[in-house]
Amino acid sequence: MTTTDAFESYLAKSNLRVTKERQQLYDGVRAQKGHFTVDTLVHRLKESGYAISRDTVYRNLPLLLEAGVVRQSFRAGRETIYEVDEGKPHHDHLLCSQCGKVEEFVDPKIEALQEDVARQFEFELQHHCHQLVGICKKCRKS
């Protein structure tokens, strides 16, 4: 009983091969809770017995993005932070500059106003990146 998962469908559609590494990568990525970097992902994959090289992860990231499996979440320093995309609705982020805490938010009014701005400048909006940076309640008390 082969699992016909979303990623395999995408690979088939794109005439790409279904390799052991890609299957394990798909499984491993979907097991991630919350936000993660490529390096932490590689480590966790190794811990799960999936020995996939860092390069293979990087090379397959564009596919995972395109297939809607992961999403580029935001950037912390020089690193790109990812998160699982499948099923999870769009949202933006609120970061604590002291402890690094990450909160997620969606504001339909902001979303709509962004569309208005794009229309005003005659841009066809593709995506946006919106981060609020501040100090969380806990950090403010110290």
Partner DNA sequence: CTCTTATTGCAATTCAGTCTTAATAGGAAT
Partner DNA sequence: ATTCCTATTAAGACTGAATTGCAATAAGAG
Piece of the chain touching Zn ion by CB under 5 A; list 38-46, 82-90, 99-107, 122-130: 99-107
Select the residue interacting with Zn ion from 76, 101, 104, 118 (CB under 5 A).
101
Q: Is residue 72 within 8 Å of 65, Cβ to Cβ?
A: yes
Burial 24-34 (b: 16+ CB within 10 A, else e): bbbebbbebee
The widest CA-to-CA distance across the chain, in whole angstroms, is 55
Question: Which DSSP letter does residue 103 get?
Answer: E
Interaction between residue 99 and Zn ion (CB under 5 A): yes
Residue 133 interaction partner, one of a second copy, Mn ion, Zn ion, none, beta carbon < 5-8 Å per kind: a second copy
* Cβ within 8 Å of residue 32, ≥6 positions away: 41, 44, 83, 84
Token code pair at residue 98:
């002291």
Residue type at position 51: A
Closest distance to DNA from the beta carbon of 107 (Å)? 27
Token code pair at residue 112:
């709509």
Token code pair at residue 73:
């979440």
Please, which residue, 60 or 69, has the CB nearer to DNA?
60
Piece of the chain touching Zn ion by CB under 5 A; list 32-40, 45-53, 61-69, 97-105: 97-105
Please, which residue, 46 or 140, has the CB nearer to a second copy?
140
Closest distance to Zn ion from the beta carbon of 107 (Å)? 21
What residue ranges bind a second copy (CB under 8 A)? 75, 78, 94, 96-97, 103, 105, 107, 109-110, 113-114, 116-118, 120-137, 140
